[in-house]
Amino acid sequence: MIRSSYTKVVGIALAYVCILSLLLIQVQIAFAEVNFSIRNDQYVFPPSEFEGTKEYPDILVMENEYIAIELLPNRGITLWKLKSKLTNTEYLYSNPSPLPYLDELTKTYYIEFGGYYPLYPWNKRDNQPYMVKYEVLEKSPGKVLIYMHGEDIEEGVKIEEWLSFEEKSAKVNIKMKITNLSGKKLSMKFGDRLVLMMSSEDIHLKVPADSVRIITSKDNWMGGEGEVKPWPQEWASWKNFKEPGVASLEVKDPYIAIINDQANEMLVKVWKPNEKLKEVIIRSWGARYEDAYFEYPVMYLQTASSKMELEPKGSFEFETYFFVIKGLTRFSTVSEFGVGFIDLKKENYTIGEEIPLNIELATATLEKNVKAKILLLDRGGSLVKEVAEELLGEVSPDKPVSKAISFKIDGIEPGDYILQVKVFSDKGELLTMQERLTLFSKPFILNIQPILMALIIIVILTVVILMLLRRKKK
């Protein structure tokens, strides 16, 4: 009887374990998938009386295991909210009922709903992003694709936006297209604005630029108007941005990283084409954010083009990627697929010497079977030699990889080279990182060392043979 009861208890316990395991698997699958919904239960202040402006507009909501986002097309806002589910951090400022304030820079009144939106075309009458309509082109557990579009009749411009969001990804993909429908050549400047919520004093910016030009700042605390200073400045850290100020940078590479040291996480914005949008404008009110009727500390990050001309029916296309990375905030290279860093320890090595290399990598989406191919290039960028290939394994937004490897380079001439690391997965190339490398010839003593060793062995063998012969004679 005891054995029978024991067997029943064990059987029930195993059944419960199996059921719980299945439930956990289902929950994991559910979180990995893209959840999509549309809500219109929130009042959003109508800034104009334009036809189609709604007090309770559709808010498009998407989330997966990494991030949650919201779109507000009826206010022209491409991305209204972006929250990291890895650290519960809200990166974008949003306010459904903002108060108007007088912008001292433009001398116009403005209300800020927050988020991310294009600055062209622009609703000049209400000084707001241009309202767009939307369509859901694709909705599946693996992917959601939204199409947004609007037409500025006065300017004769059509704007189209495609936003895609996928499973197992901490990335939002946005493509914009501006088309000239005016029937004449159109002169324009394209730009976009990201309204950041500075939720921690430990946030700082990484922008790939060498210098910064001061546009204006209260009591010249940043420097005089038009003054050019080296970058980064101490106010690249939010805790040092005390007063209102605006500055401009010309970027070398098309990205901005918002690094949250407290959460060991960062939000990265990447865009293209880089040659068209090289200017980044940083603006904030610092600790005086309430003077501009913001509810929380904010920072504007704007990307701006130089003046462009569009022929009739001509168009301009622009792509932006936002993604969150946790666990890796040191990097030297950025692409729309992730961030990476390589450490050579030193620049100079001897040909044939063991070269240690550390690779650190985090990707915007879950990537499997990630490999690193190590190449040696000349300073002109031409391939000299394929050095090695290493398996890095699985990499994701919250599970970066750090791998130490070593290799030798033989059979080449001494000189100045570039060590290049190409990272790729089954989906294709992800990232290319490189460092300078100088290779020297082996010292003369090392070159003749094998010959000396051979001669020593011959001498020793000769002596031994002679000694044996002498013994035999005795």
pLDDT tens digits, one per residue of 160-196 = 999 999 999 999 999 999 999 999 999 999 999 999 9
Q: What is the pLDDT of residue 446?
A: 47
Calpha distance 250→50 (Å, rounded): 37
Is the pLDDT at 444 greater than 60, yes or no? no
Residue linked to tokens 């209102």: 244
Alpha-carbon distance of 343 to 156, in angstroms, equals 51
Of 91 and 102, which is predicted with more confidence? Answer: 91
Residue 466's pLDDT is 76
What is the C-alpha separation between 260 and 198, in angstroms, rounded? 9
Residue 449 clears pLDDT 60, i.e. is over it: no
Query: Is residue 468 over pLDDT 90?
Result: no
Place 140 in a pLDDT band, splitting at 50, 70 and 90.
Answer: very high
Per residue in 215-252, pLDDT (tens digit) is 999 999 999 999 999 999 999 999 999 999 999 999 99
Q: Which helix (H) or strand (E) holds 13?
A: helix 2-32
**Mean per-residue pLDDT, 149-155:** 94
CA distance 165 to 173: 7
> Which residue type is seen at 310?
L
* pLDDT (0 to 100) of residue 50: 78
CB atoms closer than 10 angstroms to residue 468: 9
CA distances from 120 to 112, 116, 131, 306 (A): 16, 13, 11, 13
pLDDT at residue 459, rounded to an integer: 77
Separation CA 8–CA 474 (nearest Å): 93
Residue 9 near residue 1 (C-beta atoms within 8 A): no
Measured in degrees and rounded to the nearest 5, phi and psi for residue 230 equal -65, 150
Q: Alpha-carbon distance 256 to 278, whole Å?
A: 12
Q: What pLDDT shows up at residue 190?
A: 93
**Range among 235-244, 439-448, 460-469 with highest mean pLDDT value:** 235-244
Residue 301 · residue 236 · CB < 8 Å = no
Would you say residue 3 has pLDDT above 50? no
Residue 28: what pLDDT?
Answer: 42
With contact defined as beta carbons under 8 Å apart, do 95 and 55 qualify? no
pLDDT at 371: 97
Interatomic CA distance for residues 235 and 213, integer angstroms: 13
Mean pLDDT of 420-426: 96
Q: Stretch 337-359: mean pLDDT, rounded? A: 95
What average pLDDT is seen over the chain?
90
Q: What is d(CA 389, CA 376) in angstroms, rounded to the nearest whole number?
A: 12
Element (H, E) at 449: helix 449-473
- Tell me how far apart the terminal alpha carbons of the chain are, to the nearest angstrom: 96
Rounded CA separation 219/237 (Å):
20
